[in-house]
Structure 1
């Protein structure tokens, strides 16, 4: 995509990949410009969401962003805290994140996933007014939905390498009770 095409995607939204009763609803901070331009969550090649999702055992193979709809077959979905696309998450205001948190609560209450996994601890802290929250399980629930905070998989989050990120995703998968789907993959997957 050209820089002009990416810039034209600023402030767009990306539809949720969601259904009622999911095992896990993953939640990004907000769409990046490439995600908004393509309509696919975590679309930037440097984002480690898709590799970590597979390597941790949530999916039988690494899905491409354009295959995001296949998540539903595994009881998984994706949404965002804030809907507006930006080049960087730090372009969002505190108010956008708080409002996004309120909308997220309504979405979770409507669709009732077993788990909400927020990929971005700083966004989670702001959206839910919990400045002391850490990566891992949260005390807060939304109805019967439990919450887990994951590291932000953005390539800009250099502290969390792909192996460390995969370990964090795997620890979460083990708590959910989901089987290791990566064992079901065949050669070349």
Structure 2
């Protein structure tokens, strides 16, 4: 539904489950006004200013990429067909461009790709050289599980993994 923003050298790639209805209609990642994705990226310091959803192609300039588990379906997770998520294709895309970190923007996405043991935060496994991280969903529908601290933990990991920083 939405084009991937993937290229070698990215610090972090955010992976949603699927474009929501509003995002598919507007052709922009995390386009619903109730979604905290863009304000949170700014609040945790991964973007130098608040990015509007329609400006999403700019994020590669900040070392950020975007993709989804479901590239041919859109809507809420519970509306998607069982075969909507293509984990093998996602892993192949990620291993090809090798970002430092792949961050799933929901526990559901993380568990779909990594297995039921995946919890929030940095995972014990990697995909090639890419570290894996699971975040609480920024969707307004998932406000019960919202925790901005986990997003701050990701930002710290991304900064620590960036070239020219102490490890």
Mapped to 1, the partners of 2:118 and 2:154 lie a distance apart of 16
CA distance in 2, matches of 1:27, 1:126: 12
Q: How does 1:116-127 map to 2 (within 5 A)?
A: 116-127=102-113
Contact 2:18 2:75 in 1 (8 A): no
The alignment's C-alpha RMSD in Å is 1.6
User: Among 159, 162, 165, which residue is 1:177 paired with?
Assistant: 159
| Pairing partner for 1:156 from 141, 157, 161 | 141
Q: TM-score, normalised by structure 1?
A: 0.80
1:36 alignment counterpart: 24
For the pair 1:65 / 2:59, whether they are aligned, the reply is no
In structure 2, the residue matched to 1:114 is 100
Counterpart Cα distance in 1 of 2:95 and 2:136:
24
How far 1:178 moved relative to its partner? 5.6
Aligned pair count reads 161
Tell me the distance in 2 between the aligned counterparts of 1:178 and 1:67.
26
Residue 33 to residue 27, structure 1, CA distance change in 2 (3 Å): same
Distance (whole Å) between structure 1 residues aligned to residue 154 and residue 140 of structure 2: 20
5+ residue gaps, structure 1, are 1-12, 180-189
> Structure 2: which 5+ runs fail to align?
162-167
Within the alignment, does 1:15 sit opposite 2:3 as a pair? yes
Moved over 6 A (4+): none
Whether contact under 8 Å (1:31, 1:84) holds in the other structure is: no
TM-score normalised to structure 2 length: 0.89
For residues 37 and 134 of structure 1, the distance between their equivalents in structure 2, rounded to whole angstroms, comes to: 31
